[in-house]
Amino acid sequence: MANRHLRVAAYAVCVDDGKVLLARWLGPDGKRWTMPGGGLHHGEDPYDAVHREVEEETGYTVEIERLLGIDTVRDRTPRRLGREADFHGVRVLYAARVTGGELRHETGGSTDRAAWIALDRVPGLDRVPLVDTALSLNAERPPQGRLTTPPA
C-alpha cells in the first residue's frame, strides 16, 4: 500500500500591466517557474500563508482581492526502497496585487528567483502546470472557483 501525503498550499496570482509575478521553483527535476506561494504551516490559514509565502519568495507584500478558486492534483510519486506515495495536493489560489516591498530573490528556500514575466512569454517558459491553471482561473473567474475544462 502506498503512503498517503496531503499538502495544502496557497498561491497569489498577481497580474499587472500585461505581466505576471512568478517565482522559479527548485524542484527535484530542475528549475521551473511557478506562482508565488506554498505550503501551509500546521494550523495556518491559507489567507495568512499566501501573504507569508509571497513575501518570502518575492520580497513583496500583497493585498488579496478575491479568491479565484481551489485546484487539486493527485499523483503517485516514487519514494525510497521501491515504495511510492499517493500525493494529493490542494491549492488555494487568490487574485492579489502588490502593495509594498521590493522585488528580490529568495535565498535558502524552495525558490531562487522572482520576476515579472510578460504574459505572452509564459507559454515558452519551463513551468509547472499550476501556472496555466492559475492564469486560466484569473482570466475566466468561474463563479464556482473551478475550471470546467483543463487549461490549454
pLDDT in tens, 90-121: 999 999 999 999 999 999 999 999 999 999 99
Residue 2: CB partners within 8 Å, gap ≥ 6? 76, 83, 84, 85, 86
Cα–Cα distance, 59 to 151 (Å, whole number): 29
Domains of the chain: which residue ranges? 3-140
Name the residue with higher pLDDT: 46 or 149.
Answer: 46
pLDDT in tens, 18-34: 999 999 999 888 999 99
The answer to whether the pTM exceeds 0.75 is yes
Cα–Cα distance, 26 to 109 (Å, whole number): 8
pLDDT at 27: 87
CATH of 3-140, one of 3.90.79.10, 1.10.10.10, 3.30.300.30, 3.40.50.720: 3.90.79.10
pLDDT at 150: 73
pLDDT at 76: 81
Residue 89: CB partners within 8 Å, gap ≥ 6? 6, 7, 8, 9, 72, 73, 74, 75
Q: Which of 136, 110, 112 is nearest to 13 (CA)?
A: 136
Cα–Cα distance, 24 to 5 (Å, whole number): 24
Q: Do the Cβ atoms of 69 and 142 come closer than 8 Å?
A: yes
Q: What is the band of 82 on the pLDDT scale with cuts at 50, 70, 90?
A: low
